[in-house]
Structure 1
Amino acid sequence: MRNVWHELSGLLLPMACAGCGRPRTELCAVCGAALLGVAARRVRPSPRPPGLPAVYAAAPYENAVRAVLLAHKERGALGLARVLGRALAGGVRAVAGQSDGAGPLLLVPVPSARSATAARGHDPVRRIAVTAARELRRAGLSAHVLSVLRQRRAVADQSGLGARQRRANLAGALELTAAGGRLLRRGLAAHDRVILVDDLLTTGSTLAEAARAVGEGCGADRESSVRGGCRAAVVAASPSAFEINRN
């Protein structure tokens, strides 16, 4: 019911741009350009957590981009998944362009905690990933979403935690489902390309933990999973991760 209400409220209530508040539009051209106006680039947090795969982001997490992501994630502006999915698709294409394989793209979303999904009424990363896969298929690429990661223990709220604290908080928190491990092993054997996807990169701890879980679940050690297996794409990354990449 909550998702239905979000959809109906977008039709019945006055709209304002999620990025800047301009009236009568869900997202204005200027704020849309902040998400989609430049090619995705590789980003690196500092310090870089052990096991973090190569990550590509569409935009810095600031100003309009930050507002749009929060509106989708926390305020249920579900229509924004379309533009966020397009931005994520740009990151996935950048990842695919750097990979050696030519097989289908397997997008593995980082899972939200069950409590967060229940409170929001939706899983924002999975929703964006599904939209991104649809966008990639329109462009002629074979792309599928595999929701095969799950949390195996509770984690503390990450807000306010530093990089080292986040790594400790997330260590061992994710795992592949049994069926997910089989699917990914079969895909890797067929030269499919596994790409972890998330909405945001800050310290990189979440994606490093997801890469560990994928590598472990597929029977690979951490280093081989980073070098030859999964890579990652996100909608946005902290501005400092872009600045470090330029140096």
Structure 2
Amino acid sequence: MVVGDGGRELSVVGGMLGRVLSVVLDLVLPQTCAGCGAKGARCCGRCLAELTARPARRLPRPRLPGTPDCWSASPYEGAVRKAIVAYKERGAVALASVLAEALAFTALTAIGRTGAPWAARGFAVVPVPSGRASIGARGHDPVGGLAELAVRRLRMFGVPAVPWAALSQARRVVDQAGLSSPQRVANLAGSLRVALAAKGPPVASVLLVDDIITTGATLVEAARALRAAGVSVPMAVTVAATRRRS
């Protein structure tokens, strides 16, 4: 075994142990809200309201060519930002249910407000994939987990959605932090593909899901890969959207 592979395995094991420890601590220690720190549930009623009160179309500016219609539950700020960071980076997996509810509610709102004839015919919910190193370090696939839970919520409301983990990494990319919109596009170009292990598209249309939209470059690349496989990608839904500043 080469040293690099050993390091990756240690990272995966460390991430899994961290997730297990986080779950155990959630069970035995007094809970505080990830959004505001109040004692009680991991997401208190006030922060839950902040997370779900403002589902809306939030397109990145400028809108990149190939960007699907983008809706998010909330701006990426305040309690919402803290909850996403706690879930994604700090192992607070108990927040998955709350964040998935926000995704599903936003999808229902978007479908209702736009009409979305493609949704009535059934669609697949496809998560934007995380890299293997990120999954190993975190001990879980944050967006993949949210997508599965969101599908369950949608089906409870009679929406004909099915999960489809179609996308995989085709190549490595550099950390996106600090990159401009054109730099992100160049960094991500050709980085995703429809996984060879994925069966053919179960339906004709896809709803893309991710945790955050910033420039939209990630969603553009995901949509490109899916469209290359012959699938329509009319809409994307995220938990939050960053406010773009010039």
| Fold similarity call, TM over 0.5 | yes
Q: TM-score range by the shorter chain?
A: 0.7 to 0.9
Alignment of 1:13-24 (within 5 A): 13-24=29-40
Residue 204 of structure 1 aligns to which amino acid in structure 2? G
Is residue 56–residue 110 contact of structure 2 (8 Å, CA) maintained in 1? no
Residue 49 of structure 1 aligns to which amino acid in structure 2? L
Aligned counterpart, 1:207: 219
Q: How many residues align?
A: 226
Q: Secondary structure at the match of 2:210?
A: strand
Please say if 1:183 is aligned against 2:200. yes
Is residue 126–residue 147 contact of structure 1 (8 Å, CA) maintained in 2? yes
Please say if 1:51 is aligned against 2:40. no
Please say if 1:32 is aligned against 2:36. no
Aligned counterpart, 2:243: 239
Is residue 95–residue 232 contact of structure 1 (8 Å, CA) maintained in 2? no
Between the aligned partners of 1:200 and 1:120, the Cα distance in structure 2 is 17
Residue 26 of structure 1 aligns to which amino acid in structure 2? R
**Structure 1 residue runs of 4 or more that deviate by more than 6 Å after TM superposition:** none
Aligned counterpart, 2:86: 71
Aligned counterpart, 2:28: 12
Aligned counterpart, 2:11: none
Alignment of 1:140-159 (within 5 A): 140-159=158-177
Is residue 32–residue 38 contact of structure 2 (8 Å, CA) maintained in 1? yes
Q: C-alpha offsets along residues 104-159 of structure 1, whole Å, 9 cap, x if unaligned?
A: 23100000011000000000001111111111111122222111100100000011
Residue 30 of structure 1 aligns to which amino acid in structure 2? R
Is residue 209–residue 237 contact of structure 2 (8 Å, CA) maintained in 1? yes
Gapped regions of structure 2 (runs ≥ 5): 1-15
Q: Secondary structure at the match of 2:42?
A: coil
Instruction: Give the C-alpha shift of residue 48 in structure 1.
Output: 1.3
Between the aligned partners of 1:237 and 1:50, the Cα distance in structure 2 is 18
Between 10-19 and 60-69, report the one with greater CA deviation. 10-19
Is residue 123–residue 203 contact of structure 2 (8 Å, CA) maintained in 1? no
Between 197-206 and 16-25, report the one with greater CA deviation. 16-25
Instruction: Give the C-alpha shift of residue 172 in structure 1.
Output: 0.6
Q: Secondary structure at the match of 2:203?
A: helix
Percent identity over paired residues: 44
Gapped regions of structure 1 (runs ≥ 5): 242-247
Instruction: Give the C-alpha shift of residue 46 in structure 1.
Output: 1.1
Instruction: Give the C-alpha shift of residue 24 in structure 1.
Output: 2.8
Is residue 55–residue 95 contact of structure 1 (8 Å, CA) maintained in 2? no
Structure-1-length-normalised TM-score: 0.86
Between the aligned partners of 2:169 and 2:71, the Cα distance in structure 1 is 24
Q: Secondary structure at the match of 1:65?
A: helix
Between the aligned partners of 1:162 and 1:14, the Cα distance in structure 2 is 41
Please say if 1:81 is aligned against 2:96. yes
Please say if 1:118 is aligned against 2:136. yes
Instruction: Give the C-alpha shift of residue 230 in structure 1.
Output: 3.5
Instruction: Give the C-alpha shift of residue 41 in structure 1.
Output: 1.1
Query: RMSD over aligned Cα, in angstroms?
Result: 1.7
Aligned counterpart, 1:244: none
Between the aligned partners of 2:139 and 2:242, the Cα distance in structure 1 is 26
